[in-house]
Structure 1
Amino acid sequence: MASSFSLRNFSTCSYLIQYFLLILTFSVSTKHTLGFCYTSIFSFGDSLADTGNLLHIAESSTQPPQFALPPYGETYFHRPTGRCSDGRLIIDFIAQDLGMPLVPPYFRGQNESVVNFQEGVNFAVGGSTALDKSFFEERGIHNPFTNSSFSLRDQLGWFKEMLSSLCHSSSDCKQLLSSSLILMGEIGGNDYNGAFASRRSLQEIRSFVPIVIDAISSAITELIELGAMTLMVPGNLPIGCIPYLLTDYMSSIKEDYDRETGCLIWLNEFAVYHNEMLRIELNRIQELHPHTTIIYADYYNAAMRFYRSPFEYGFNGSRVLKACCGAKEGPYDVNLTVLCGYPPSTPCDDPSSYVSWDGTHLTEAAYRWISKSLLEGPYTIPPINLSCISFPATTESKVD
C-alpha cells in the first residue's frame, strides 16, 4: 500500500509552497510577542494536550480508560492524571517555565467545587477532532483511536460558556484574553487517524486537509474577535515515526522508509503537507490581524531531531522507534490489540530513553525537549516572549 501512497508526485508543488512560505514568514518572523508576562493560559486540542478532561468525562464508565491506569503518570505525578504519557506534556512545561500553575482541565471544575480557573483552563480532550462528528459519519469513517466525539467547535463552546464566569463585560473579557497565552492544539491529527485506520485512499485524506485547516482557522479568528492577542498553533508531529502507525502500515519495500531514521516517508510527507497548508493560513490570518501575534509551533522539526540524532537528546538509538509501554512484540514493541495500561502490556524500565510512551503518544522526556525548543527557539515563528522565562526551568508547579 505504502508505495502507491507516495507523495513524490506533489514534490514540485511542495517546493513552490515552501518558497511561498519563506516569503510570508519573512514578513512576520521579526515580530515578537507582546512584552508582558502572561496572566493565564487557555488551551484547546486532543490527547497531546489533554491534562485530564477525558478522564473526568469517563469517570462513570464501567471500564476505566487506559490512561486512568498505571503506569501512566509514573515519572512525574507518580499516579495516572489523565495525561497520555508517563509524565508532563508540552502544556505543563510551558506553564512551569512561565512560572504559572499547571493548567487545570475544564471538566475537573465541573466535578469539583474549588477549582481556580483565573490563571487558565484546558479544554483539550483526548481523541478530539478539528471537524465535527457528522463529517466522519457522512463518510462512514470510524476512528478507533477515540471513544469521544468532541470537536474543536465543542471546546470553543465550553470556553465561551466559562468566559462569562471569569469576566463580566466584553471589555473585561478582552482585557483578560489580551494578556493570556492561547494554545491551539495540537488539533487535527485525529481527523486523519480514523481515515488512515479505515484504509481510505491518500487522495481522499488529502482532501480533508483544507477543511481541517479551515476549522482551525475559524476557531482562531473567533478567539481573536473575543480579544485573544497571542496564540500558539502547533503543526503535526512526524507521524511516519509513530510506532503504532509504523506497525499498522508495515511494508516490505525498503524504499518506503527513510534510510536515516527508519520512519515511513509517505506518512511524514503527509504531515509536512498539513503543516505547510497550516502555515499559509496562519500567515493569512496574521496579515488580517496585524495587532495580534500568531505563533506557529513547529512540532514536526522539533521532534525529527530525536529520530535523526537520538543520542544527542538522551534517547537510546535502538529504542527510538519503539514503544516504552506496550506488548513488546514486533520491531516496534507494539501489538495493535494490546494497549498500555491493560494486561498483558508491560512498561519499560527507563521511559527517559524512549521517544514514544505507548506507541501513539510521547514520553515526558520527548515533550520536555519539544517544549524547550519552542521556548528557546528556533521552532516557534515568531519567537515566543521570553521576558517571564528563565532557563533552566526550576519552577515546579504543585502536582495536581
Structure 2
Amino acid sequence: MASARAFLSALLSVICSVFILRHPCKAQSLASCKFDAIYQLGDSISDTGNLIHEGPIGEASPCGHPPYGQDFPGGQATGRCSDGLLMIDYLSQAARVPFPDFYLNWSAAFTRGHGVNFAVAGATAMPSYVLAEMNISNPATNSSLGTQLDWMFSYFNGICLDKADCVSKLKHALFMVGEIGGSDYYYALFQGKSIEEVKSLVPQVVMAIKDAVQRVIGYGASRVVVPGNFPIGCFPIYLDRFEADGPSAYDESRCLKDLNGLTAYHNELLQKAIGELGKENRHVVILYGDYYNAFASMYRGGPSFGFDMSWAQKACCGSGGGDHNFDPNRRCGAPGVAVCPDPAKAISWDGIHMTQRAYSVMTDWLVHDLLPKLKCNASLIGN
C-alpha cells in the first residue's frame, strides 16, 4: 500500500507539472509550510480595507460600496477592489491561516498573531512628495510603501520585546512585499507622461521596493515573496486610453506591446534586485512572485478555466460597451453602471482590477510556482 501511495503521489506531481498552465492543481497548498501569519504590503491588488478607513477620500472610494464585494461572503463591500476575494485571501486559504486584519481596523484583535495587511489601494512605491517633484500626483492616498513600512515597524515594536523576540515570533510568517509600483506608472501615464518617461522611473521604483525588502528582513522576516507587476497592456482601462491605430502596436493576444514592455522591464529589474538581496541575505528565502506569467497563463488557458474570452478585455462592471466596456467618466460603482451576468466568466472586474475568479486562478498558479522554492522544510534561522 505504501508503494502504491508513493506512486500515486509521484503521478499527481507529474500531472501538476505538465498541466498546471491549463488546470491549476488544488492539491498543492502552502499548508506544508506551516505558516502561522501573513504580512502584506501593497496597493489595491491587496488592500482589504485600509483605504476606506483612512479618511474622507478613502471613504468615497467605490471599493467600499456595492457592487464591489457582491460575491464576497455575505455580499459585503469591504474595501476589496473586486467582486469578492483577492489573491491575499486565497493565499491565506492555501496556507490555512485566517485572513490577516487590515491595519486600520482598530477593532481587530491583532494579538491573535495571524498577520496584518498594510496594503492601501492607490499606494505608490515611491513617496508622494518624490512623485510630486516629477509633476506626478497621487489623488488617492499618501500611504506609500514607506508609510506602510512605518506602520509595520510600529506594529512589531508593540508585539516584540527586542530583535531576538521578533525573529522568534516571525520565523513561521510569510511576508508579501507587493505587488506595488503599478500605481506609480498608472498615475504617470494617465497624467500625460510618455512610456519612455515612465520607463525612466522604473529603477527608482524598483530601488524603493528593494529597500522595503531589506527593512522587512531587518524586522525579522525569513521568507519573503516580492511580486512583479501584471501585463497592463491587456487591461481594459489601458486598452481604452491608449488605443492604437495600427495592428503592429498589439501582440497576438491583442494586448498593447509597449505597455507590456514597460511591465516586463520593471519585472526584469526587480528580479535582478531580488537576486542581489538573496546574495546579501543568505539566511533568508527571498522569492520573485511571477504575477506577469500567472496572468499570462490564465489568459492563454481562459476557456479551460471557465472564462468567456469574448469578455477577456472587457470590464465586467462598466459602461460604454464596445471592445472594452469601459467609460472613464462612468466607472464601476457609478449610478446606472451595470455588472455583467456572470463575473466568474470575466477576467476584469472594473477595467483595472480583476474578478474573484481571476484572482483564484492566478493564486493557484502562483502557489504551484512558489511551493518548491520556499524551502518549507528547511530551518533558516541561525544559518
Give the TM-score normalised by the residue count of structure 2: 0.86
5+ residue gaps in structure 2?
Answer: 1-29, 378-383
CA distance in 1 between counterparts of 2:321 and 2:101 reads 36
Matched, 1:383 2:373: yes
Q: Tell me which of the two structures has the higher relative contact order, counting C-alpha pairs closer than 8 angstroms and 6 or more residues apart.
A: 1
- 2:357 pairs with one of 339, 357, 365: 365
Secondary structure at the aligned position of 1:318 is classed as: helix
The equivalences for 1:193-342 within 5 A come to 193-259=186-252, 261-342=253-334
TM-superposition CA deviations, 1:129-169 (whole Å, max 9, x none): 000011121111234xx421221110000000111222222
Matched, 1:135 2:125: no
Deviation at 1:307, TM superposition (A): 2.6
Deviation at 1:176, TM superposition (A): 1.5
Q: Which amino acid aligns with 1:44?
A: L
Q: Which amino acid aligns with 1:45?
A: G
Q: Please say if residues 130 and 151 of structure 1, whose CA atoms lie closer than 8 Å, have aligned partners that are also in contact.
A: yes
TM-superposition CA deviations, 1:78-112 (whole Å, max 9, x none): 11010000111111001111111111100012xx2
Aligned twin of 2:104: 107
CA distance in 2 between counterparts of 1:386 and 1:292 reads 12
Q: Please say if residues 108 and 115 of structure 1, whose CA atoms lie closer than 8 Å, have aligned partners that are also in contact.
A: no
Secondary structure at the aligned position of 1:344 is classed as: coil
Q: Which amino acid aligns with 1:241?
A: C
Secondary structure at the aligned position of 2:312 is classed as: coil
CA distance in 1 between counterparts of 2:169 and 2:39 reads 11
Aligned twin of 1:190: 183
- 1:43 pairs with one of 40, 45, 51: 40
CA distance in 1 between counterparts of 2:371 and 2:326 reads 35
- 1:97 pairs with one of 86, 94, 98: 94
Q: Which amino acid aligns with 1:282?
A: I
Q: Please say if residues 118 and 166 of structure 1, whose CA atoms lie closer than 8 Å, have aligned partners that are also in contact.
A: no
CA distance in 2 between counterparts of 1:285 and 1:386 reads 19
Q: Which amino acid aligns with 1:81?
A: T
The equivalences for 1:140-179 within 5 A come to 140-143=135-138, 146-179=139-172
Q: 1:308 to 1:36 in 2, by over 3 A?
A: closer
Give the TM-score normalised by the residue count of structure 1: 0.83
Indicate the percent of aligned positions where both proteins have the same amino acid: 36
Q: Please say if residues 375 and 384 of structure 1, whose CA atoms lie closer than 8 Å, have aligned partners that are also in contact.
A: no
CA distance in 1 between counterparts of 2:235 and 2:129 reads 27
Aligned twin of 2:10: none
CA distance in 1 between counterparts of 2:89 and 2:319 reads 28
Matched, 1:123 2:113: no
Deviation at 1:247, TM superposition (A): 0.3
Secondary structure at the aligned position of 2:225 is classed as: strand
Aligned twin of 1:374: 366
CA distance in 1 between counterparts of 2:193 and 2:123 reads 20
5+ residue gaps in structure 1?
Answer: 1-32, 388-400
